[in-house]
Amino acid sequence: MRINFGYVAMSKVVKDCSPSRTVTVKSLSKIEDDEVRLHKLKSIAKTNIKNTQRLFYHNRAHDIKVYRLTSKLIPLATHPITEKWDWFKDIYSDLKGLGEYAKEHNFRISAHPDHYTLLNSPKDEILQSSLKDLIYHYKIFEGMGLDKSAKLVLHIGGSYKDKKRSIERFIKNFIKLPEHLREIITLENDDKTYTAKEVLEICQQVKAPMVLDIHHHWCNNNGEDLSEYLERIFETWNYEDVPPKIHVSSPKDEKKFRNHADNIDLDSFTEFLEKAKKINRDFDVMIEAKNKDVALFNLIDDLKNVPNIDVLDQASIEY
């Protein structure tokens, strides 16, 4: 089975290449002239896209096919202060070029709306702003010309003191989403509230692919053994054009167990590979480590010394 590795948003190798530059609401509101204000937003957005393109060149040079876009590509895109700004029109040609490169090199693109995007909030205004955020991410993919193989990764949300009803509310709201949004959403287990088993059940019910986060599973489980669920988790991807994806990170330390370490611990990763071997199916690994792409290269280096593993190129292995 073949495993492709990727990383999140920014590189530790390419310098001065943030795709997430922004501006604060405070400093933006100090600008009186509308034109100057729009220019500020527009130039930050363009810089972010340009830097993402530079990261794409870097990814191409290092055989990296799996990449998560920053959610902050367009500064304050869903904030009321930019309401009058038609950002899509201003940067469409830049986005289009970015997407063409991604498609040309078969990149597998994803994005991860942050934890303020909550489809199961009991408050309608939170649901509405979450919807707005999903639409924002969709427009980025759309502008890039990506098809539904580009995925959004979401968590289920809060428990609101009644997990059962909160799951029901999630499902109700998820099903109501327009088709074009629903078909790009994948659901991930989190480190505090919704376990891998619970998310799997939701995924099966709403027919969404599940992204398994191994680190989150260690933080939050009811004693379930992953190997019992792995096959069914991967099966949620059966109708997709892309292989299943998992998230991999290592705990910072015993005390700050939920925090991400700089790099990936080899032993726990190979332990997972043993379990995955039984299913014998290709999958993608999103490395979520402080050292970003460097952590990916470090892990690949470590894997070179593991028996039965062939390192195919700088970012993929055969096992």
Residues near DNA (CB under 7 A) are: 10, 18-28, 30, 44, 71-72, 76-79, 114-116, 118, 121, 123, 125-126, 129, 133, 157-161, 193, 256, 258-260, 290
What's the closest the beta carbon of residue 123 comes to DNA, in angstroms?
6
3-state secondary structure 34-47: HHHHHHHHHHHHHH
The answer to whether the CB of 219 falls within 8 A of the CB of 191 is yes
Nearer to DNA, 114 or 254 (CB): 114
Q: CA 210 from chain center: how many Å?
A: 12
- In whole angstroms, give the CA distance from residue 250 to residue 266: 9
Nearer to DNA, 193 or 195 (CB): 193
User: What 8-state DSSP symbol labels residue 82?
Assistant: G
User: What 8-state DSSP symbol labels residue 261?
Assistant: P
Nearer to DNA, 236 or 250 (CB): 250
Nearer to DNA, 78 or 316 (CB): 78
What's the closest the beta carbon of residue 26 comes to DNA, in angstroms?
5
Give start and end residues of each alpha helix (H) in the chain. 25-30, 34-61, 87-104, 124-144, 163-176, 179-182, 196-206, 214-219, 230-235, 266-277, 292-303
Nearer to DNA, 57 or 116 (CB): 116
Q: Phi first, then psi: give them for residue 151, nearest 5 degrees.
A: -120, 150
What's the closest the beta carbon of residue 163 comes to DNA, in angstroms?
8
Nearer to DNA, 110 or 249 (CB): 249
What's the closest the beta carbon of residue 83 comes to DNA, in angstroms?
11
Nearer to DNA, 104 or 257 (CB): 257
- In whole angstroms, give the CA distance from residue 153 to residue 260: 18
What's the closest the beta carbon of residue 180 comes to DNA, in angstroms?
21
Which candidate, 42, 10, 48, places its Cα nearest to that of 28?
42
The answer to whether the CB of 79 falls within 8 A of the CB of 25 is yes
Nearer to DNA, 41 or 208 (CB): 41
What's the closest the beta carbon of residue 304 comes to DNA, in angstroms?
27
Nearer to DNA, 108 or 260 (CB): 260
What's the closest the beta carbon of residue 162 comes to DNA, in angstroms?
9
**Whole-Å CA distances, 82 to 11, 86, 87, 150:** 28, 8, 9, 26
Dihedral through CA 50, CA 71, CA 24, CA 126, nearest 10? Answer: 150
What's the closest the beta carbon of residue 155 comes to DNA, in angstroms?
10
**Whole-Å CA distances, 249 to 8, 32, 239, 270, 296:** 12, 44, 27, 13, 11
Long-range contacts of 222-228 (CB under 8 A, 24+ apart): 222/195, 222/197, 224/195, 224/196, 224/197, 226/196, 226/272, 226/275, 227/275, 227/278
What's the closest the beta carbon of residue 159 comes to DNA, in angstroms?
4
